[in-house]
Amino acid sequence: MKPDYFIANNFKLPLDGTTKVMGIVNVTPDSFYDGGKYESTELAVEHALSLVAQGADMIDIGGQTTKPGSQPISAEVELARILPVISALKGKLNVPISVDTYKPQVVAGVIKAGVDVINLIFQDEASEKLILDMIGHTSMGLVLAHNSFPKMLDSDRALDQLKDFFNAQQQLLQGYGIGTERVLFDPALGYAYGLDLAGNLKVINEAKKLSDDFPMLYGYSQKQFIGDLTGSIAPGRLAGTQAVTAHLAAQGVDFVRVHEVAEAKQLLTMLNQIWRA
Position 31 scores a pLDDT of: 66
- Say if residues 116 and 141 touch (Cβ distance below 8 Å): yes
Question: What whole-number percentage of the chain has pLDDT above 90?
Answer: 86
Please give the Cα distance from 243 to 76 (Å, whole number).
Answer: 38
pLDDT in tens, 23-32: 999 998 866 6
Average pLDDT score over residue span 143-149: 91
The DSSP secondary structure of 8-61, one letter per residue, reads ETTEEEE-SS--EEEEEEE--S--TTTTTTT-SHHHHHHHHHHHHHTT-SEEEE
- Is 257 part of the annotated catalytic residue set? yes
Of 102, 141, 160, 109, the C-alpha closest to 11 is 141
Please give the Cα distance from 107 to 75 (Å, whole number).
Answer: 9
CB atoms within 10 A of CB 10: 8
Position 121 scores a pLDDT of: 86
Position 151 scores a pLDDT of: 87
Question: What pTM does this model have?
Answer: 0.96
Position 115 scores a pLDDT of: 99
Position 216 scores a pLDDT of: 99
Position 193 scores a pLDDT of: 85
When computed from its CA atoms, the radius of gyration of the chain, rounded to whole angstroms, is 17
CA angle 28, 31, 37 (to 5 degrees): 65
Task: Enumerate domains of the chain plus CATH numbers.
Answer: 15-276 (3.20.20.20)
Question: Which of 223, 237, 265, 276 does the annotation list as catalytic?
Answer: 223
- Of 33 and 223, which is predicted with more confidence? 223
Position 33 scores a pLDDT of: 65
Position 63 scores a pLDDT of: 94
Please give the Cα distance from 171 to 223 (Å, whole number).
Answer: 31
Mean pLDDT of the chain: 95
Position 34 scores a pLDDT of: 67
- Say if residues 48 and 88 touch (Cβ distance below 8 Å): no
Contacts of 14 (CB under 8 A, 6+ apart): 4, 5
Q: Is the pLDDT of residue 68 over 70?
A: no
Question: Which of 182, 237, 257, 265 does the annotation list as catalytic?
Answer: 257
